[in-house]
Amino acid sequence: MAGDKIAVTTVLGGVDVLAGHIYRTRASAAFAYADSYLERSDAFALAPSLPLFGGPQSVFPANPFSDSAPDTWGRKVLNRAAGRQLDEISLLLGVNDNGRQGATRFWSEGIAVADGEGVPGEHELSEVIRTADQVQRGEMDISDRQIRRLFRATGSLGGARPKANVDRGGSLWLAKFPKPVGDEWNVIAWEAATLDLMEQAAIQVTPHETKTFTVAGEDRTVLFLRRFDRTSSNARIPYMSAMTALEAQDGSGGDWVDLVEWAHTHGADTKKLWRRAVFGVLIGNVDDHLRNHGFLRKNGAWVLSPAFDVNPTPVAHGSEHELGLDGVFDVSLKDFVDAAVLDLFDVSLVEQRGWLESLVGILAKAESRAIAHGADAYSAAMMTERFEAATEDLRQLLET
């Protein structure tokens, strides 16, 4: 595969356009923008680490295309399908083009790289989940046909949780399902409930719903999320994670201060960011790393994507977050209502108080929403202390 030249496209004005080329060697890779792209007035940098100028730019170690590459779960599936540990470029190019995140695409001799048979339909999901269970458990006796189906379904999907792209009535959705072992409670039901609560709290989320599938005689709760990087007609929308925006890497942590400053600079709504930060702190969404925040390219600017991958955790799990605030990772509601922090997020005292008051009644619905999405009594009770503590924190603050 030495000396490969891969065309890279993105979307401008609703149309795929050539952005440049990746030049791959055995040990590394470089990217160069096409002159035709640089000449466009609406051209944008595919990533901050790839500024708009001519000539080759190194792809590693930052990997500006990491949003188009698989994360933990996708890597596990792609490596299993290949029967070996793939290098970074092979993993990037191995993602099914149909389900790839955002609008960045890769082409070889005019053909989309990894342009397979498409993603599975919803009617195939029980079998996809069964195969995902086998991969999770490390089983070796899995047929090539099953692996290919799971391979098609797995794209550049972040996180370690089993998931798949699914065709639902001609639209692209993401299906998230429980692990066969390791989940202490119904994580899927609680994620769905959290999205319900966020939507009521004027935080943008993508359309979502849960359904129950029977796999090997066991009922499994599956969360469906409409892909927000696609239009209603399935056209692709450029996407950039906060990790890419801040030129960070997986596991390197992050800080709200840097994220807010980047959002300010690029015109994204920082008031909305504040709501997400506060909501996440209240419910114990400690897995709030930079890859779990993102931006969509719309009308020549970067805007916040809908919120995603937000999960409550029991109080016993602590309050140390992946994303810190001014270097502090063990954060609470009080940290985010400090005058200096409100000023950073451009939130007024009136806006703060009005929104926090609305949360009291919304958080009270948490358990009923989780049960509505399939949580049993044990799973529902796991979060009782967390939401009671959140409500108490809100009431104490509002009484001052």
Which residues lie closer than 8 Å to 109 by C-beta, 6 or more apart?
none
Tell me which residue of 35, 11, 10, 8 sits closest to 24, measured CA to CA: 8
Rounded Cα distance between 28 and 290, Å, is 25
Helices (H), 346-383: 349-363, 366-372, 377-381
Distance CA 66, CA 60 (A): 10
pTM, rounded to two decimals: 0.91
pLDDT digits (tens, 9 = 90+) for 164-205: 889 999 899 999 988 877 789 999 999 999 999 999 999 999
The predicted-structure confidence for 194-246, as pLDDT tens digits, reads as follows: 999 999 999 999 999 999 998 888 888 999 999 999 999 999 999 999 999 99
Q: Which residues pair with 105 in a beta bridge?
A: 9
Please tell me whether residue 133 adopts helix, strand or coil conformation.
helix
Residue 216 has what pLDDT? 84
> Taking a C-beta distance cutoff of 8 angstroms, is the pair 263, 299 a contact?
no
d(CA 83, CA 101): 24
| Residue-wise DSSP of 156-176 | S--SSS-EEEEEETTEEEEEE
Q: Which residue has the tokens 């940098």?
A: 45
Name the H helices within 137-255: 144-153, 187-200, 242-245
- Residues 79-105 pLDDT 10s: 877 788 888 888 888 888 888 899 999
Q: 396: alpha, beta or left, given left = phi > 0 and alpha = psi -120 to 50?
A: alpha
